[in-house]
Structure 1
Amino acid sequence: MTAVGNGSQTAGRPTRLPRSARRKQLLAAAQEVFVAQGYHAAAMDDIAERAGVSKPVLYQHFPGKLELYLALLDTHCDGFLAKVHEAMRGTSDNKERVSGAVRAYFDFMDHESEAFRLVFESDLRNDPAVRQRVERVEQGCISAITDTIISDTGVSRAHAELLASGLVGAAETAAQFWLGGGRQVPKAEAEALLAALSWRGIASFPLQGEPAAGAGQTESP
């Protein structure tokens, strides 16, 4: 089995890497093993071998398999949430915000499909610590979109949260379906379809101070 990373050994002796670099190397190896075997079938021996290190080195960084798995989840969850927040803050154009939120899910699927499976398709979803992290991602996305809806439309938080949860659920489910279906629809087209569907729903709620669609005007998203 080929070790992850470059320079893991020199002249038969393990290369001493900075702690942060070693941690990154171990996480990369663990991700490959977890995705290929699932959490329950994966063993620390497999991960150490994949990384080209001894088990003591692996245990210096992570006290056990669950801690290693949770560290992986934290890395990917934080990265994904940052993309959703960036989509909300990157423009004041609400149509672009919807497109950006949808794109974040499809990008996560397309470029980090292994990470997506770890976060959203884990065989450890019933573990409280894992479930808490998955829920943190979902609630973080809902919260970011909720705040935008409230500031723009003035609807109550309860209404805004319901709308945001619908958008998040649609984006996650559609992106997952797209990935599972072998990407039969081109990615850009898939994003545009879902963004158009979502925007037509969100756009029916007018900006604060503007009349609702149908009340003397026609909404044309």
Structure 2
Amino acid sequence: MTETGQARQVTSETSSAPLGRGVRLPRTERRAQLLAAAQEVFAANGYHAAAMDDIAERAGVSKPVLYQHFPGKLDLYIALLESHVDNLVNAVQQALASTTDNKQRVKNAVGAFFDFVNSDVGAFRMVFESDLRGEPAVQEAVDRATSASVDAITETITADAGLDEEKARLLAVGLVGMSQVSARFWLANSSMSQEEAVALTSTLAWRGIGAGFPLSGRD
């Protein structure tokens, strides 16, 4: 597995204690461990209050080891953000590829956003609520979370509904926007189950898309 691939697998499943100094790890494993430690520190303290000393201590490594992988705090933050964006985009792509029934595809795509928001609060806040959007590299990564998801859905709608790319993209933007906002609202404000929230949101989306265009799998 490449170093990038290893970084993409960073999740909320981090250890509750530092690994300990003096333990040798392959470079890809060490990088993943450092990203996991950084996630904990950024989530607890925010970007501006987080210190590289804290991240190194959390990971159980020396600061020189940390700097061997990441030249600075912003580089570390961007690498972590990119890994979260990759996880979300991959989830959307897999949701679309998991079935040929378009009604289920819509539900799966909506569910991918709810899963992302609910599985790791720190990850979704970095992607959707980053306070560093003034940094061009951060803004680029945040924009990719939406644009790559829209691209994947646009391709599916174009192939199955016979729409031109512009119309398909507009529908895809609507589905992604609805999914993001609904998932974030549900997490912050609703007591209903995730399953019910996904069903409600996807039903609304399907009745709009499925009722107006000749997609397979219609009720």
Same fold (TM over 0.5): yes
Change in CA separation of 1:7 and 1:174 when aligned onto 2, cut-off 3 Å: closer
| CA deviation after TM superposition for structure 1 residue 205, in Å | 2.7
Inter-partner Cα distance in structure 2 for 1:22 and 1:151: 42
Q: Does 1:58 align with 2:49?
A: no
CA contact (8 A) 1:4 1:52 kept: no
Inter-partner Cα distance in structure 2 for 1:43 and 1:125: 19
Inter-partner Cα distance in structure 2 for 1:4 and 1:141: 30
Inter-partner Cα distance in structure 2 for 1:33 and 1:191: 31
How big is each residue's C-alpha offset from its partner over 1:18-47, in whole Å with a ceiling of 9 and x where there is no partner? Answer: 212211111111001111111112111111
How big is each residue's C-alpha offset from its partner over 1:140-188, in whole Å with a ceiling of 9 and x where there is no partner? Answer: 111111111111111221111111101100000000111112x511110
Amino acid at match of 1:53: V
Which residue does 1:174 correspond to in 2?
182
Inter-partner Cα distance in structure 2 for 1:7 and 1:28: 11
Which of 12, 21, 24 is the aligned partner of 2:29?
Answer: 21
Which of 116, 128, 134 is the aligned partner of 2:136?
Answer: 128
Listed as ranges, the matches of 1:1-221 within 5 Å are 4=15, 8-9=19-20, 14-181=22-189, 183-207=190-214, 221=219
CA contact (8 A) 2:35 2:80 kept: yes
CA contact (8 A) 2:18 2:59 kept: no
Identify the range of structure 1 (163-172 vs 36-45) with the bigger mean alpha-carbon deviation: 36-45
CA contact (8 A) 1:153 1:205 kept: no
How big is each residue's C-alpha offset from its partner over 1:109-153, in whole Å with a ceiling of 9 and x where there is no partner? Answer: 111222111111111122110110111110111111111111111
Change in CA separation of 1:54 and 1:4 when aligned onto 2, cut-off 3 Å: farther
Inter-partner Cα distance in structure 1 for 2:130 and 2:200: 28
Inter-partner Cα distance in structure 1 for 2:213 and 2:24: 59
Inter-partner Cα distance in structure 2 for 1:110 and 1:7: 25
Give secondary structure in 1 for the equivalent of 2:211.
coil
Inter-partner Cα distance in structure 2 for 1:90 and 1:43: 41
CA contact (8 A) 1:5 1:51 kept: no
Change in CA separation of 1:159 and 1:7 when aligned onto 2, cut-off 3 Å: closer
Give secondary structure in 2 for the equivalent of 1:204.
helix
Determine which structure has the larger helix proportion and give its number: 2
Inter-partner Cα distance in structure 2 for 1:174 and 1:149: 21
CA contact (8 A) 1:48 1:55 kept: yes
Inter-partner Cα distance in structure 1 for 2:56 and 2:15: 10
Give secondary structure in 1 for the equivalent of 2:53.
helix
Aligned residues: 206
